[in-house]
């Protein structure tokens, strides 16, 4: 006999039970055995799903007109302290209305295996491009609703989201303690505006989607403007450097060391 669940989170999970009439004579024993197999499967599946859903909460903002994923530090409810906030903007591959797509890359992927993550994490989803005003409305909403340390609000994003990081930060330099654009297109004309912000830029040298020259020129412009910029270029990497960047605890340690001047 084979007991197999429907496709989904538990797809591929299978309980194989060899049963003979000699082993189980009575129908009641057979029924009990089958039920126990299903009960074991159901318990394992539901436990796994619940642990994932607790970490990232789906949120709908009427004011900002954006859906988002929200992560709260594991000690948030146990304390009265304020927490740093990281605002993450996804790439074009995660556009749409399925919030689970955001769990594939970036900090929203990282927190699923690092519940000790010491930030409030906010990850809005767009259907085709980030609107600066909507993103800032969402940030205001979260900042007012949760205990956020306003001098430690950070902005990061990859690819399309990284381009939005450059744009939003240039318009709202007074709101962020630091920014981290990844594999993104900046506008060197904004270098003077951004010179006051700590910035860590990442790019792959072999990027054939967004040329590394964009980041190189922006870093040069920031340095010429007297900016506080770090630059990491991965010599053998292409466009997708998400895991290299966001799976490294050094990034988050660096962010925590940056504080906006009051």
Question: pLDDT, tens digit, for every residue of 102-136?
Answer: 999 999 999 999 989 999 999 999 999 999 999 99
How far apart CA 207 and CA 233 sit, in angstroms, is 10
Q: Is the pLDDT of residue 15 over 50?
A: no
Q: Where are the alpha helices (DSSP H) in 111-203?
A: 132-145, 160-171, 191-194
Q: Average pLDDT in the 73-80 region?
A: 88
**Nearest Cα residue to 88 out of 172, 170, 168:** 168
Identify the weakest region by mean pLDDT among 45-54, 57-66, 72-81.
Answer: 45-54
Q: What is the mean pLDDT of the chain?
A: 82
How far apart CA 200 and CA 179 sit, in angstroms, is 7
H-helix or E-strand containing 49?
Answer: helix 27-55
Radius of gyration of the chain (CA): 23
How far apart CA 152 and CA 73 sit, in angstroms, is 15
Contact 166, 135 (CB under 8 A): no
How far apart CA 116 and CA 34 sit, in angstroms, is 39
Strands (E), the chain: 2-3, 15-16, 57-61, 66-71, 83-89, 120-125, 148-158, 178-182, 198-204, 228-234
For residues 262 and 10, the model is more confident at: 262
Domains identified in the chain and CATH numbers? 2-52 (no CATH), 56-256 (3.40.50.1820)
Read off the pTM.
0.78
DSSP 3-state assignment of 88?
strand
What confidence tier does 19 reach under pLDDT thresholds 50, 70, 90? Answer: very low
Torsion region of 8: left, alpha or beta (phi above 0 gives left; psi -120 to 50 gives alpha): left
Q: Is the pLDDT of residue 58 over 70?
A: yes
Contact 199, 229 (CB under 8 A): yes
């Amino acid at each position: 006999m084979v007991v197999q669940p429907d496709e989904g989170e538990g797809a591929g999970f299978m309980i194989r039970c060899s049963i003979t009439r000699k082993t189980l004579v009575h129908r009641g024993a057979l029924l009990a055995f089958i039920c126990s197999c299903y009960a074991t499967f159901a318990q394992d599946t539901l436990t796994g799903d619940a642990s994932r859903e607790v970490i990232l909460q789906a949120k709908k903002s009427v004011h900002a007109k954006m859906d988002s994923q929200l992560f709260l530090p594991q000690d948030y409810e146990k304390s009265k302290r304020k927490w740093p906030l990281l605002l993450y903007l996804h790439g074009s591959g995660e556009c749409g209305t399925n919030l689970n797509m955001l769990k594939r890359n970036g900090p929203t992927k990282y927190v699923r295996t690092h519940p000790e993550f010491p930030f409030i994490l906010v990850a809005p989803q767009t259907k085709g491009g980030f609107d600066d005003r909507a993103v800032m409305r969402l940030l205001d909403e979260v900042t007012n609703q949760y205990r956020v340390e306003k001098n430690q609000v950070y902005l990061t994003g990859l690819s399309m989201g990284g381009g939005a990081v450059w744009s939003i930060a240039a318009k709202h330099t007074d709101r962020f303690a630091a920014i981290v654009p990844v594999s993104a297109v900046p506008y060197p004309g904004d270098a003077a505006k951004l010179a006051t912000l700590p910035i860590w830029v990442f790019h792959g040298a072999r990027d054939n989607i967004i040329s590394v020259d964009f980041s190189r020129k922006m870093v040069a412009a920031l340095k010429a403007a007297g900016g506080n910029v770090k630059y990491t270029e991965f010599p053998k990497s292409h466009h997708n450097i998400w895991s290299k960047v966001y799976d490294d605890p050094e990034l988050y340690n660096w962010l925590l060391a940056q504080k906006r001047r009051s």
